[in-house]
Amino acid sequence: MNYTDMHRQFIWNVRLDFDPVGIRYIYDEKEIEQLPLTHRSKNKITYCQYLAAARQQRSAVYMEPKKLLCQNAYPVFGFRELDKVEDTKRHMKYLQDEKLSWAAPQEKAKLEKGCIGIYMAPLDLFDKMDLEPSVVYFVLTPYQAYHLLNDYMGAMKKPNLNFFHTPNSAVCSGSVYSYVNETANMTTMCAGSKTSGKTEMNYVNLFIPGVHIDAMAEQQKMRTEKGDGASLVGKGSKSWPGLDVCKACPLIKFEEIEPAKEVAENKEAIEAV
């Protein structure tokens, strides 16, 4: 599948509220020339805000270090060195312990030195260039994440997954962790992604390494084609989200009947679209 196929499949199969976003960490200036851009930030804003623009209004943006606002993200991307005094202060409100507040930023996931900027765009736009996303980013409900992570585990032959949670930097360090360690990662909102990133209280952040996204999409495609949909509820392979009523209850049994003419016509019209 190409990225457009994957993009559409993910949105349809689990009814995503937002576009999946491809993130590419740029180390070579020559790559910048081939990036399809639709918008440019006028001011310094956070990494989360760039990503919100990409997933909410399909913006394709390039973030230079000088246009990044969030100081917690700077060392994660290698844009500056850690400052013991200032970075400890930034983490005190979360941890209330100086030693722990200095350990926290030191132990966050970090990019290899040399990143000169970050490109973010809806996943399907990566078909317009020869570059692959470093990470694919989803903002979704825990239920939707559950389904995608099962497909990821099936594709990568992993029986379980571990996630990397930090007191803040849920999106910046969360995405870098997935890229550096080549594994899926899931984080809650943090204070920054709740406000400027609009993760909101009922969503989580999910990151899939770019090198694995095709295998995950193929796994989901294979699984859904065996049945009638992507749902894992009950016996699975049903249209999203699947019937969710009292597992194994002997009273809840349905049998198919001949649909009314107007219902059948409506179904045919929907399938045609």
Query: 16 lies in which domain range?
Result: 3-226
Q: Determine phi and psi for 129, rounding to 5 degrees.
A: -150, 175
Q: Is residue 272 part of a domain?
A: no
Q: Residue range 63-92: average pLDDT?
A: 97
The kind and range of the H/E element at 187 are strand 185-187
Position 247 confidence tier, pLDDT thresholds 50, 70, 90: confident
User: Chain-wide mean pLDDT for the chain?
Assistant: 94
Looking at residue 262, its pLDDT comes to 62
pLDDT at 146 over 90: yes
Q: Is the pLDDT of residue 127 over 90?
A: yes
- The answer to whether position 235 is within a domain reads no
116 belongs to a structural domain: yes
Residue 261 pLDDT greater than 70, yes or no: no
| Per-residue confidence band for 141, with pLDDT thresholds at 50, 70 and 90 | very high
pLDDT band at 255 (very low <50, low <70, confident <90, very high): confident
Quote the CA–CA distance of 117 and 62 in Å, as a whole number: 7
Of residues 100 and 254, the one with the higher pLDDT is 100
Q: Is the pLDDT of residue 260 over 70?
A: no
Judge whether 134 lies within some domain. yes
In a domain, 255, yes or no: no
Q: Let me know if residue 261 belongs to a domain.
A: no
- Residue 87 resides in a domain: yes
Q: Which of 169, 64, 80 is nearest to 118 (CA)?
A: 64
Joined tokens for residue 91: 């983490």
Q: Is the pLDDT of residue 263 over 90?
A: no
Rounded to an integer, the average pLDDT of 215-220 is 98
Residue 56: pLDDT band by 50, 70, 90 thresholds? very high
Distance, CA of 134 to CA of 172 (rounded, Å): 13
Question: What pLDDT is recorded for position 196?
Answer: 84
pLDDT for residue 158: 98
> Which positions ≥6 away from 231 have C-beta within 8 Å?
147, 237, 238, 239, 240, 241, 242
Number of domains in the chain: 1
Say how far apart CA 93 and CA 29 lie, in whole Å: 38
Q: Which of 159, 165, 158 is nearest to 207 (CA)?
A: 165
**What is the chain's alpha carbon radius of gyration, rounded to the nearest angstrom?**
21
**pLDDT score at 229:** 92
Within-domain flag for 48? yes
First to last CA, the chain: 21
Task: Please give the helix or strand (H or E) that residue 265 lies within, else none.
Answer: helix 261-272
State what percent of residues in the chain have pLDDT above 90: 81
For residues 150 and 233, the answer to whether their CB atoms sit within 8 Å is: no
pLDDT interval class at 267 (50, 70, 90): low
pLDDT digit string (tens) for 104-119?
999 999 999 999 999 9
pLDDT digits (tens, 9 = 90+) for 207-217: 999 999 999 99
String of DSSP letters for 118-144: EEEEEGGGGGGSS---SEEEEEE-HHH
